[in-house]
Amino acid sequence: MSEEAELREHICMMAKSLYDRGLTAGSSGNISARLGDGRLLVTPTGSSFGRLDPARLSLFDSEGRLIGGDKPTKEMPLHAAFYETRPKKTGAVVHLHSSHSVAFSILPGVDADNMLPPLTAYSIMKLGKVKLLPYFMPGDPAMGDAIRGLAGKRSAVMLAAHGPVVSAKDLEAAVYAIEELEETAKLAMLTRGANPSLLTDAQIADLVRTYDVEWD
């Protein structure tokens, strides 16, 4: 199986796993992943993660031109911004409309610079700091501009009242990271107002140093 055929199958398999576990619903969410030659495979607009066809994924050349497949997601600006600002660290981007992270994003008192409280080591290890961005209308190119404004310093952002977007070195890493984001948001919702014991600054610093976490 060629690299392209394998990646097409992998995107559809990972997307169905996310869909089957209720991490995105209907036709929401989108995934992109880069091939070794710089081409990009992207989930089409209006498609369900539960029923993707590998042959119909949108295909872009290394210059960002659509060269095959169905019409791509309207949220390409999100994906393009990560590939542009983090070119050596981004091999895939995943965007979901997962319930707990969306709910947490619209609560008062959330730290916009570091949305997730340090409840576990794993969110820090896999995500670093998650930037909470303001609401944008779906498909608005300004979403990409907001990510570019971070100058490549964040691998994950949360679009208020919309959903998380995570970039990583490959598709599997991006999926695992966005799952961790949703789980941490769920924990934050469950423990909100209960005065949970958070990781200390020293514990966070140890994780950042040991696992080479981006933490500005």
Please confirm, yes or no, whether 83 is among the known catalytic residues: no
CA separation, residue 115 to residues 28, 43, 71 (Å): 22, 27, 33
- Treating both helix axes as pointing N-terminal to C-terminal, what angle do 171-191 and 3-20 enclose, rounded to 10 degrees? 20
Cβ pair 58, 41 in contact under 8 A: yes
Token pair for 45: 């607009």
Question: What is the number of other CB atoms lying within 10 angstroms of the CB of residue 43?
Answer: 29
- Alpha helices, H only, 128-196: 142-148, 171-191
CA angle in degrees (0–180, nearest 5) for 38-7-83? 35
| 163 vs 102: CA distance, rounded Å | 5
Lookup: tokens for 74: 């309207």
Please tell me which residue in 4, 9, 83, 122 is annotated as part of the active site.
122
- CA of 186: how far to CAs of 23, 110, 128, 135, 190, in Å? 12, 14, 17, 20, 6
Given the residues 19, 75, 179, 183, select the one marked as catalytic. 75
Is 75 in the active site? yes
Q: Known catalytic residues?
A: 75, 122
